[in-house]
Amino acid sequence: MPEPAPDPELFDKVVNLCKRRGFVFPSAEIYGGFRSTYDYGPVGVLMLRNVKDAWWRSMVQLRDDVVGLDAAILSPPAIWEASGHLATFTDPLVDCRNCGARHRLDKLDDREVCSTCGRRGALTEPRPFNLMFKTHAGPVEDAGSVTYLRPETAQGIFVNFTNVVNTSRKKPPFGIAQIGKSFRNEITPHNFVFRTREFEQMEMEYFVPPEDGPRWYEYWCRERFNWYLELGMPADRLRLRVHEPDELSHYSSGTSDVEYLFPWGWDELEGIAQRTDFDLRRHAEHSGERLDWFDQATGTRYTPYVVEPAAGATRTMMAFLMAAYDEEEVRGETRTVLRLHPRLAPYQVAVLPLSKKAELVGPAREVLASLQPHYMCEYDETQAIGRRYRRQDELGTPYCVTVDFDSLEDNAVTVRERDSMDQDRIPIADVVPYLRERLEP
């Protein structure tokens, strides 16, 4: 089957919708914005939370071999010394002598040509640029107070290995999962929330006996790829790409990326890496603490190997929005609809009284109150009902529940489904089970 073509127009459409409907706003906008940082609006915060919850559900809740952790963002240089980030977490920075633009050399299509002004041969020699944000803890800004904002959540997991082992009763193979903010001083943040300096990651370190590393790596590549499919990503826009040896990070003996066909082409959503025993060994060496496992059954001691699926929550949310965006002709008008998986949609249900009259608002609010304990709901009584449906379509809300004047007689409501726009008349008492059957298969 031929690969679908990337759709450059889709990018602007999704970015506009994000602003217009309250998914994502440029940060500090009233001051002219701030360097590729973004704020998540009323519906964006719901959807981002849903992406993270869907990951947590699959990685922690539905398993008995993975536990969670939430480690600190501020961290001492010792961690990054041991992990190798101080020495090697760099990107090759080049400047254009002609136009002054700055680039990451490895991301240029032609390493001789400035992608901003097109001049050949004007780029400086590459300089390694460390991506970690440095700050100072405490009132004195001296060498002793240097502190880093973590550039990945993984190291907080490695340094807690013994704490978790001693308190959780897990033994290899087992994993520690974490979701949280990470910070990288990216040379060229771009493509909306795809590459930002502050972003959220969803990472899991899976500790296994060394000889089982390759098997678990294959397993996690499959599991993680399927997660995106189960949440509605089209199979022809998703691929697993094995890294070439010269692409591998300093800690990795093998990595595959889950890639999505973004409007600008294939790009990374998640990396699944074989980190071997690199991190535990380095932290053991640097801290002097023992970070290994004693297998009582065989009487042997070993440093577990690690398989790491590392995904970006904010980047993944953007990909889900791109995948869900659709336009179709309905009765001579263009309808924009986000065909989001119900688990990811900001609201699962919208409750809409047909009119603002008190006789409908009262019962509509009662329906709302009966749904709120089960679902994230929106209540909207403004504008004509058709416009309100369109708004919910653009938010990706799978079901709208409309309370009309007949409801006062028949104690029933109209339930409209987003994708088909089909409507069912349902007794008010049956709405929760009706939705449960459809929203939680």
- Residues lying near ligand ATP in the complex (CB under 6 A): 152, 184, 186, 195-196, 199, 201, 268-271, 310-312, 314-315
Provide the minimum distance between the beta carbon of 78 and ligand ATP in the complex, in angstroms, as a whole number: 21
Provide the minimum distance between the beta carbon of 201 and ligand ATP in the complex, in angstroms, as a whole number: 5
Provide the minimum distance between the beta carbon of 266 and ligand ATP in the complex, in angstroms, as a whole number: 12
Between helix 8-21 and helix 313-324 the angle, nearest 10°, is 110
Cβ proximity to ligand ATP, 228 vs 389, nearer residue: 228
What is the C-alpha to C-alpha distance for residues 406 and 412, in angstroms, rounded to an integer? Answer: 8
* Alpha-carbon torsion, ordered 261, 264, 266, 269, to 10 deg: -80
Provide the minimum distance between the beta carbon of 164 and ligand ATP in the complex, in angstroms, as a whole number: 21
Cβ proximity to ligand ATP, 319 vs 340, nearer residue: 319
Cβ proximity to ligand ATP, 310 vs 371, nearer residue: 310
Cβ proximity to ligand ATP, 144 vs 265, nearer residue: 265
The answer for residues whose C-beta is within 8 angstroms of residue 430's C-beta and 6 or more apart is none
Provide the minimum distance between the beta carbon of 282 and ligand ATP in the complex, in angstroms, as a whole number: 17
Cβ proximity to ligand ATP, 147 vs 249, nearer residue: 249
Provide the minimum distance between the beta carbon of 19 and ligand ATP in the complex, in angstroms, as a whole number: 19
For strands 399-403 and 412-417, give the pairing: antiparallel
Across the beta sheet with 127-130, what order do the strands follow? 102-104, 90-95, 127-130
What is the C-alpha to C-alpha distance for residues 296 and 429, in angstroms, rounded to an integer? Answer: 57
What is the C-alpha to C-alpha distance for residues 72 and 293, in angstroms, rounded to an integer? Answer: 24
Cβ proximity to ligand ATP, 174 vs 199, nearer residue: 199
Residue nearest ligand ATP by beta-carbon distance: 312
Provide the minimum distance between the beta carbon of 377 and ligand ATP in the complex, in angstroms, as a whole number: 30
Provide the minimum distance between the beta carbon of 186 and ligand ATP in the complex, in angstroms, as a whole number: 5
Cβ proximity to ligand ATP, 132 vs 269, nearer residue: 269
Three-state SS at 140:
coil
CA separation (Å) from 331 to 334, 414, 416?
Answer: 8, 21, 17
The answer for residues whose C-beta is within 8 angstroms of residue 7's C-beta and 6 or more apart is 263
- Residue 282, CB-side half-sphere exposure with 13 Å CA sphere: 17
Cβ proximity to ligand ATP, 52 vs 184, nearer residue: 184
CA separation (Å) from 37 to 40, 44, 150, 184, 248?
Answer: 10, 14, 17, 12, 28
Taking only Cα atoms into account, the Rg of the chain, rounded to an integer number of angstroms, comes to 25
What is the C-alpha to C-alpha distance for residues 134 and 148, in angstroms, rounded to an integer? Answer: 5
